[in-house]
Amino acid sequence: MQKVNIKEKFSLFADHWHPRIAGELNGQHVKLVKLKGPFIWHQHENEDELFLVISGILKMELEEQTIEILPGEFIIIPKGTLHRPVADDEVEVLLFEPASTINTGDQNSGLRQDQLQKI
């Protein structure tokens, strides 16, 4: 058993849209990712996702609205929900989602990350 210092883990990487695995439990991954700019519109047919903003401001675009998530806030995106994360400036996010979750969901783009590094 070890504790995890989130700030320290974020200092280990600088790239955007490339999640790292910071922990695992019950078939779920705790991932850390830095975001900047717009991602792609996508959905996850079988997985819910939790986005917890650590720093910065995340805009979650949905089909009918955009929700702003501030540091210390989180949003759960239910499976099957079309969404697009957007970060005007760099945002640090903790993701909590099933281990089977692919970051680009139903879209096969150059942003897809199949092999995630553990940090």
Instruction: Determine the pLDDT at residue 106.
Output: 66
- pLDDT tens profile 51-107: 999 999 999 999 999 999 999 999 999 999 999 999 999 999 999 988 877 665 666
- Entry pTM: 0.89
Residue 8 exposed, middle or buried by CB count within 10 Å (0-12, 13-18, 19+): exposed
- What token pair was written down for 11? 């200092």
C-alpha–C-alpha distance, residues 24 and 39, integer Å: 25
Predicted confidence (pLDDT) at residue 38 exceeds the cutoff of 70:
yes
Helix then strand then coil, % of the chain, to nearest 5: 5, 45, 50
- Mean pLDDT, to the nearest integer, of 15-41? 94
Instruction: Determine the pLDDT at residue 43.
Output: 87
First to last CA, the chain: 15
Domains along the sequence of the chain with CATH: 6-98 (2.60.120.10)
